[in-house]
Amino acid sequence: MQFVVMARDGSDPDAVARRQAVRPTHLDGIQPLVDAGHILAGGAMLDDDGNMRGSVLLVEFPSRVELDVWLDHDPYVTGGVWKQIEVVPFRVAVGSWMPQS
């Protein structure tokens, strides 16, 4: 199953520092999921000044339960970076990165 994950950072004065503190651990932990094909695309949501304020990911997991297990253990969740997370079922129809058949 594919999902879009929209995760918004906190808006308090320490939000940017929290993100920066756990970002290396988040990226290290997410790489095996990219390699396994679970993370199809991901990146930061930006404010008008280009500052990171959240994340959007296109993911594929066997079930929502397995997606939630990953989310529950991701450093952006355990480190208090992502404060509001929305998960929406999704189905890719087109993309330049998709293999040609």
- Domain 2-90 class in CATH: alpha beta
Confidence at residue 69, expressed as pLDDT on a 0 to 100 scale: 97
Cβ–Cβ under 8 Å, residues 22 and 81? yes
pTM of the predicted model, to two decimals?
0.89
Confidence at residue 100, expressed as pLDDT on a 0 to 100 scale: 56
Domain ranges of the chain: 2-90
Per-residue pLDDT of the chain (101 residues; tens, 9 = 90+): 999 999 999 999 999 999 999 999 999 999 999 999 999 999 999 999 999 999 999 999 999 999 999 999 999 999 999 999 999 999 988 877 655 55
